[in-house]
Structure 1
């Protein structure tokens, strides 16, 4: 039962990572004029207002394209890490840790506390639960292949 709950959590993280990839890629494509959709244009405009309003408060200034690329990269790390966790690979959990650090860095960079912080905290809890429910298999735990002739 522990493993099933762990896999469910990992699938949630994988799905959220895929959403981040899709959103990051779509908004970046809109910002680069690769596509032209009114709904995406509204999204790009909202993010531009957010970034411009904090231009003097950012520790590391983001361009619009840089921000969307960062969101895309976070999605890749989250999806890859979740897949690695499902496979019980240590690198999957390490990758999820890097994703969480990148997510936290956004709050620090923009010096912004908003309701999205609750999502980050929830994801941190999910990572700890995931590690408890389906811990990575170390090289020492792998069973040798039975090679009988």
Structure 2
């Protein structure tokens, strides 16, 4: 990605389009970074993005910053509207409950075959009960980390 800095403000730019718009100037097919910098066009370095809970948050781009001569994109995390977050969390919860149901059936088959169960059915039941009651958790839906719950249980 490239940006063009004009009057101290950095904006994303399509280099080919920029050069095409410069009617009286011809440019090499692959301009060097040095040449680009003469037109205040700079390459944006890859930057770390903050972690986002896709059920309750979204990543937004908030601009660019220059650090030690290199340009980086800046990001922020914003909460989704409560109605959207609630629907997302409940949908993910339902997906996990379906997975638990399949695991419960697997354990029941193992028990019927007199095999040692691969999972503790009591733990599965407790986890399912916890998922069924997540709407009662304080701060719902924003306080719910379903993947963390599943990893903790699993």
In the superposition, the TM-score normalised over structure 2's length comes to 0.28
Query: With structure 1 as the length reference, what TM-score do the two structures score?
Result: 0.28
Kindly indicate which of the two structures has a greater share of residues assigned to strand: 2
Larger radius of gyration: 2
